[in-house]
Amino acid sequence: LLKTCSLHGISTFSFQTWLSQARQSKDYALPNSSWSQGMMDLYSRFLEMCKDGTWKRIPSYSNSIDHIPGKAFWCVCKERKETRLFPRNMDTEGVGFEYAMFLNPSEKRMVCLFQPGPYLEGHPGFAHGGSTATIIDSTIGGCAIFVAGRVMTANLSINYRNPIPLGSVVLVDSKVDQVEGRKVFLSCQVRSIDGQTLHAEATALFIRLDSTKSLQQQMSSQ
Ligand X SMILES: CCCCCCCCCC(=O)SCCNC(=O)CCNC(=O)[C@H](O)C(C)(C)COP(=O)(O)OP(=O)(O)OC[C@H]1O[C@@H](n2cnc3c(N)ncnc32)[C@H](O)[C@@H]1OP(=O)(O)O
Q: What b/e readout covers 69-103, taking b as 16+ CB neighbours within 10 angstroms?
A: bbbebbeeeeeeeeeebebbeeeeebebbbbbbbb
Identity of the residue, 25 or 153, whose beta carbon is nearer to ligand X in the bound complex? 153
Q: Does 203 bind ligand X (CB under 6 A)?
A: no
Identify which of residues 74 and 165 has a Cβ nearer to ligand X in the complex: 74
Question: Would strands 109-116 and 97-104 be described as parallel, antiparallel, or unpaired?
Answer: antiparallel
Shortest Cβ distance from residue 37 to ligand X (Å)?
25
Report how far residue 16's alpha carbon sits from residue 222's, in angstroms, rounded to the nearest whole number: 20
Secondary structure of residue 12 in the 3-state scheme: strand
Burial (CB < 10 A; 0-12, 13-18, 19+), residue 138, is: buried
What residues numbered 165-184 form the site for ligand X, per CB under 6 A?
A: 182-183
- How far apart CA 15 and CA 4 sit, in angstroms, is 8
State residue 131 phi and psi, 5-degree precision.
-70, -35
Min dist CB 196 to ligand X, Å, is 28
- Selected range binding ligand X among 30-38, 40-48, 192-200, 203-211, rule: CB under 6 A: 203-211
Binding residues for ligand X, rule CB under 6 A, total: 16
Contact 126, 166 (CB under 8 A): yes
- What backbone phi and psi angles, to 5 degrees, belong to 42? -65, -40
Q: Which of 137, 173, 177, 210 is catalytic?
A: 137
**Is residue 137 near ligand X by the rule CB under 6 A?**
yes
Cα 183 from Cα 1, distance rounded (Å): 28
The nearest distance, CB 217 to ligand X, in angstroms, is: 18
State the binding string over 57-76 for ligand X (x if CB under 6 A, else -): -x--------x---------
Q: Decide whether 102 or 126 has the Cβ nearer to ligand X.
A: 102
Helix or strand holding residue 159 (H, E): strand 151-160
For ligand X, which residue of 74, 95, 207, 214 counts as binding (CB under 6 A)? 207
Per CB under 6 A, contacts with ligand X among 7-66 are: 58
Of 37-45, 75-83, 138-146, 171-179, which segment contacts ligand X by CB under 6 A?
Answer: 138-146
Please select the residue that binds ligand X; options are 19, 75, 154, 198, rule is CB under 6 A.
154
41 given a catalytic annotation: no
Q: What amino acid positions are annotated as catalytic residues? A: 137
Q: Which residues bind ligand X (CB under 6 A)?
A: 58, 67, 137-138, 141-142, 145, 152-155, 182-183, 205, 207, 209
